[in-house]
Structure 1
């Protein structure tokens, strides 16, 4: 039997674990959260993603009980958690500032919550060992927090948060202090733990790659509002606005005016240039201002003129070599700079194109997403 895809948000009979209902949070005259409605389901790994000051941490702090909504209701398993103090919620929070006990060893920091719950010695020993192994802290278990690095302290905080296996774990930029390689490994470990324990994870991050890697769904936020809530592939492939397209990953944005005939759209974009061709399910009025968003990997680069719906000639202005891929910045006669990406399957010495080369770039009429504005 094929494995059932995990998508409780598509099941009308599935009840959300967390429900935000018309939640607004103000600090004086500043609105940090603006009338948000959001459902998060059991066993989800849910990411709140956005730039600094967008409201994602405030949203998480309200879940943890450290802030209360100015208006609206937050339900956890059907219960209004507004009046419930943080220590009485079935929620654990891992703080960005680690919040470790300086006088306790790494081992005792991880064991702290289990001891408070009155767990027996054997259970505590086993669980702490599991956590130490998971976060690669075995050889630091007797050290105090000030005797280890910032990245290691963050891993202790993560281990302590996971030790009690809470129903809902809130993670505020949990991997920010880790170096890139360890952060990437820890992301997969986090996903593995989340799957094994069945705990619902809500992670706050400004790192798009992190959100796209770990999350079952991502909420992209800006200025206290939810811009789009969807699975990572939908956020990337079908963003609902120029803001989301631009915030997630690398993208080419070409502004123009729409001339639509059914699903086919001609984009009038530059004087004296033939229109660009795009396909859309949306309806645009004649001459409506719109933006074509195309990912660099969907733009081909070639020495000879190709046959495609959209073909442009330009000059290579810059090359970003990233090991596995190269991104070519191609300047068109109109002044537009379009990024095209190629996988580096050959050795660097045998690269096809270099700076100042004249090249052709092309893409299909379905490669981009046509967005309003």
Structure 2
């Protein structure tokens, strides 16, 4: 049986769970969020991604009710929550610090919010046990937070946040305190738990790889505005601007003057260099400034000149060895640096290329992305 693709944002019949409508947030004379509109759907794992100061945390705090909006409205489940206090919203928030009670056991930490609602003791116990099973913490139930690892404390905070079955869970840099390997493992655990509970997750992060891994869609932000909202593959392979191309992943951007040449564009980008060829659905006028963005994994590196599109001569000036792959920084004749990657598929410490080697790099006309100036 074919698996149904989860993409409610493509269905005009679907009603968003969360709607930002021309939302603006000002702090004095400073505009942190500028007339922003956004839809987030039920069961999404949605990522707000951007550099420090871009407005992503302010958006999350407005959703939680910790910041009031200056203009516009926010709806949750069709209800305007712009003036609803935080404790009256079906929303929970999980912070980077986890904020666990050190004197309470893991079981009691998870039960804390349920007890404050004066629920039946048996119902509380059943819900806590369910959360312990979901987060694989059952055998740690009697321990205190200082007696478990950082990754386990992160799962306790998650279990406590989900115990009250919120419609929406907000995660503010939730994995920032974990080391790289544990962070990567926990990302998949988060995805699994989100899928099992069906809760809508909204995560704030500045980690591009984290957003690419966990999110159904990503909103890339800059200076209080949404630059692009799309799925991770679209954001990565089809960025809509030089900013998005440069922010998400590694990329080389070459600037030049575009002209139509049959079914592709050619970009005159450097004197004495051949034009770059790029297939694109864009419509650019002859002489218009354009940019070709090309990812290093799309760029091949050769000892001898290949017969292909976009063939450039250069010299290896730097090498980054990352175990599974090597990144070569190649300086072209005009001083431009372009990056090429080779996967290290064999167990051989000798590299195919080394510093100061004269090499050729190339990519096909469909591997680069043409962007407007």
Task: Provide TM-score, normalisation by structure 2.
Answer: 0.94
Partner of 2:254: 254
CA drift of 1:334 comes to 1.1
Partner of 2:31: 31
Which range moves more in the overlay, 249-258 or 148-157?
A: 148-157
Contact 2:45 2:215 in 1 (8 A): yes
CA drift of 1:67 comes to 0.9
Query: Aligned in 2, Cα 1:211/1:160: closer, same or farther, shift over 3 Å?
Result: same
Distance in 2 (CA, whole Å) between partners of 1:149 and 1:182 is: 10
Distance in 1 (CA, whole Å) between partners of 2:160 and 2:175 is: 14
Distance in 2 (CA, whole Å) between partners of 1:77 and 1:364 is: 46
Partner of 2:274: 274
Q: CA deviation digits over 1:217-275, x for unaligned, max 9?
A: 00000110000000000000000000000000011111111112454111111111111
Partner of 2:370: 370
Distance in 2 (CA, whole Å) between partners of 1:340 and 1:223 is: 31
Q: Secondary structure at the match of 2:250?
A: coil
Partner of 2:178: 178
Partner of 1:361: 361
Contact 1:263 1:281 in 2 (8 A): no
Q: CA deviation digits over 1:266-318, x for unaligned, max 9?
A: 11111111111111111112221121100000001111211111101111111
Q: Secondary structure at the match of 1:338?
A: strand
Distance in 2 (CA, whole Å) between partners of 1:177 and 1:151 is: 9
Distance in 2 (CA, whole Å) between partners of 1:2 and 1:145 is: 43
Distance in 2 (CA, whole Å) between partners of 1:276 and 1:5 is: 36
Partner of 2:331: 331
Task: Provide TM-score, normalisation by structure 1.
Answer: 0.94
Matching of residues 122-271 of structure 1 within 5 Å: 122-132=122-132, 135=135, 141-145=141-145, 153-261=153-261, 263-271=263-271
Contact 1:252 1:338 in 2 (8 A): yes
Distance in 2 (CA, whole Å) between partners of 1:76 and 1:131 is: 25
Partner of 2:46: 46
CA drift of 1:143 comes to 4.5
Distance in 1 (CA, whole Å) between partners of 2:9 and 2:335 is: 44
Partner of 1:68: 68
Query: Aligned in 2, Cα 1:123/1:358: closer, same or farther, shift over 3 Å?
Result: farther
- 2:283 is the alignment partner of 1:283: yes
Q: CA deviation digits over 1:147-168, x for unaligned, max 9?
A: 6666554443222112223111
Distance in 1 (CA, whole Å) between partners of 2:121 and 2:110 is: 13
CA drift of 1:372 comes to 1.5
Q: Secondary structure at the match of 2:57?
A: helix
Contact 1:106 1:143 in 2 (8 A): yes
Distance in 1 (CA, whole Å) between partners of 2:161 and 2:268 is: 54
Question: What is the aligned residue count?
Answer: 373
